[in-house]
Amino acid sequence: MKKGTVELISVVKRYGDSEAVKKINLKIDGGSYCCLLGPSGCGKSTTLRMIAGHETATEGDILLNNRNVTDLPPRQRGTALMFQNYALFPHLNSLDNVTFSLKIAGVSAGERKARALDMLKLVNMDQFAEAFPDQLSGGQQQRVALARALINQPEVILLDEPLSALDPFLRTKMRTELKRIQQQLGITFIHVTHSQEEAFALADQVVVMNQGFIEQVDSPQGIFRTPRTAFVAQFIGGHNIIEGDLAPDQKALVVKDRAFPIPDTFSQENLSGISLRCDQISISTAPTATSLPDPLTIDFVEYQGSYVHVRGAFQDGLALSVYQSDHDWLDKPVKEGDAVYVTWCIDALNPLASIAP
């Protein structure tokens, strides 16, 4: 087992009568970058805090390197939590903020300074060692907070929405920095976010949570190309979700009066519908041999730069979103009120399961 491996076994967290985390099982490989992704209130911060030891698990076990840490206090776990608001001591400069825990642990002044400067260098803040928090920008404070979390050489670092307070430009910059630092140190990073873009950019493993359950654990590509449930497909965006009933011959999904052919490979058990990527649908102004026979009437066109979001509905009310490349759109711009014909390849369909695991 790789150093820094975290396992959650049937972990439950209850606050009074309400269950914030519902019997989740999860293994996070040592040395990987894991993002816990989901909407507000889905239980991701509670899960993170239970791993850190700042919240007790109501049921289940938390293992770090096969060692059961469920009942250990935070300091004895080998983890470090970086708080959302950075929580730097305002009366201490960057260096003293970073050395603080070493001082408590009785490390000599010389070693404290050397180790803290190494950490500040790692996060590109060595030139601000003497600066106080109120003299630093949000991004700089965050780097100091990261250095402070790393100073005790944790095997796992836990980050709760670390980029949410930064402006979009700094957020992207710090994202790159976080990935670089994780790769340089080779330790496990567990990062809570509600941004799928952030999770896709950073993670080796994305854990999508919803209402206290884990809906899917996969690589960013796996999540995007094969979302497991309608919730995942909807949350990450860029997909049409078509819900319907399986035809008696199991070769099509029946939606209202139409039957969408589906591949034989779909597991029919639990099938609640299909997802269809918006960028895998093509549009033509006249019917083609492979297009659906009835036209889609466009009700919305939104320019997004590299693509154009075109949405429309068939006469029976079924709506579809299409992402056209800006090149294709500029070639033959479609507009609200136009009738178009849509085509996709059967392989572009993805089965959706009806229930979370």
Query: What residue ranges bind ligand ATP (CB under 6 A)?
Result: 15, 20, 38, 40-46, 194
- For the CA atoms of 119, 121, 123, 128, the dihedral, rounded to the nearest 10 degrees, stands at 100
Q: How far apart are CA 207 and CA 32, in angstroms?
A: 13
In the bound complex, what is the minimum distance in angstroms from residue 48's beta carbon to ligand ATP?
8
**Considering the complex, what minimum distance in angstroms separates the CB of residue 67 from ligand ATP?**
24
* Least CB distance to ligand ATP at residue 125 (A): 27
Q: Residue 58 or residue 101: which is nearer to ligand ATP going by CB?
A: 58
Report the C-alpha gap between 216 and 276 in whole angstroms: 18
Q: Give the residue nearest to ligand ATP (CB).
A: 45
Q: By C-beta, is 208 or 308 nearer to ligand ATP?
A: 208
Residue entry with tokens 């490390």: 107
CB-nearer residue toward ligand ATP: 38 or 133: 38
**Residue 38 or 227 having the CB closest to ligand ATP:** 38
Q: State the nearest-atom distance from the C-beta of 352 to ligand ATP, in Å.
A: 22
Q: Which ranges constitute the DSSP H helices of the chain? A: 44-52, 94-104, 109-122, 138-150, 168-185, 196-202, 220-225, 230-236, 326-331
Nearer to ligand ATP, 74 or 287 (CB): 74
> Residue 84 or 152: which CB sits closer to ligand ATP?
84
Compute CA 274 distance to the chain's CA centroid, rounded to the nearest angstrom: 22
- Which residues make Cβ contacts (< 8 Å) with residue 108, sequence separation at least 6? none
Nearer to ligand ATP, 211 or 282 (CB): 211
Smallest gap from residue 194 Cβ to ligand ATP (A): 5
Count Cβ atoms below 10 Å from residue 110 Cβ, excluding itself: 8
Minimal distance in Å, beta carbon 158 to ligand ATP? 12
Residue 160: Cβ-neighbour burial (10 angstroms; 0-12, 13-18, 19+): buried
Tokens encoding 47: 């899960």
- The minimum distance between CB 83 and ligand ATP, in angstroms, equals 12
Q: Residue 196: CB partners within 8 Å, gap ≥ 6?
A: 37, 235, 236, 237
